[in-house]
Structure 1
Amino acid sequence: GDGVKGTVNYLEPEPYTIYNSGIHIINSQGKYVGRFGKKAKEITLQDQIVFALLEDIGLTTDQEVEDLFNPQTGSLATDDVADPEIGSGTVDNLLFYLRTLKAPTRRNETDADVISGEALFEQIGCIKCHIPSITTAKSDIEVLSEVEIHPYTDLLLHDMGTVLDDGFPEGNAKGSQWRTPPLWGLGLAAESQGGTMYLLHHGQASDVNDVMSYHLGGEANSAASGYFELSSSEKDQIIKFLMSL
């Protein structure tokens, strides 16, 4: 075949992971399917919020009440603020805010080059991982319940080869495995990042051609090779399509 074989990051739930039988998939060992984060290492959006508050900002919560351990000092990275620093109400507010953010609106959908680029994107096999459409699960928020969305992802892990191996496994994900990133909003990335796109997990790719170079050698090798076999005008059409997302 083409080497594409997406896998799931099965995870032990956190003590605060809120199980929803209509959403969460559990294997025979009682492990949950991870969906959030670059390596799908968080089960729920709340789990991701709690992790980001602690790991990215250094804020404790009712769910994670201890500061991070600082190996340089041999102790917890304590501060003068009583823990937890963020209460459950604030976490709930963040959760509701992120759940109800509007998805990016497509632009230039009827442009001939955008339409041709979308066909080429499918033709070379990008949609085997960047699946255009998925249907949401049942939700207590009616407008989010069982609706078709277009994030361009399968939410699975794929081995992207040695060039994208960061050497840090997370859960069952190896250093070279990454969850397929959603592509919606890609065309707005430069505007939101100060005029320059910083793409991939390390931000070292600044345009689509760079990204496709990094895709050579792993599960996406066939699609990336197909991209580089296209004419310049065909590549431009794919780029115009991606910038319309």
Structure 2
Amino acid sequence: MPMKGGPCWKRCSKRAGELPVIVGLADENVAHLHAALERVNALPVAGVLTPAPYYVRPSQAALVRHFLDLADASARPLVIYDIPYRTGVQLELQTLLALAAHPRIQAVKDCAGSQEQTLALILDGRLRVLAGDDINILSTLCLGGSGAIAASAHVAPPEYVGVCRAIADGRLAEARTRFHTLVPAITALFSEPNPAPVKAALADAGLIRNELRPPMMPTSAQFYAGWQTLRPSLPPLLRAQFEPGATSASGSLPNSSP
């Protein structure tokens, strides 16, 4: 959770340059969530990504009230994060359509697992639908979605941008081919609890240290062995990050669990 002037915000904003930054806020304690939102309001962020309160499983009416209160209090556009397998509650279609009437609720990160709901939101047209399950990026964009927020894209952003641009330009065969080459990596990067595999891959490329906050654990030795086997078949831009000489000393994975 970013604090004004804190090291996390300073680092992210510096690296982002002119690119828009969306801040994620999540808390089952609504008072704490609003206090955090007040601090974020002072930052020059592009938007706020926020899920339903986790664990407490509010009713749909309570969820509408919750998100409307956040939107009223926010100085930035909201992206609703619909991820029921983490929060314990799904945002039903009618709930999202009701929330779409608020001018500051502008998008949804769609991890609901329902293509019918995804399409209904796209057809309604008021919310920008962003694929949240990486394996659904191609199908969501082809249906008319606006983009994706994808964990696996951290490993090779240009490859994912290439898929999005090909679809936007109507080059569907190219988009399909590009995405199909990414599927083995996406499958591998979600074979163990996220974000451990993505962090392991980035550490393997020498970009970060292979560290996670407890109770998360580093990937298993089996994942790392499988990732090494997968390397030669990765798309060129992705494979290049893991070529000999591209990995620094921090890229090794001594913390991978047996």
Q: Could you state the TM-score of these two structures normalised by the residue count of structure 2?
A: 0.26
The higher relative CO (CA closer than 8 Å, separation ≥ 6) is in 1
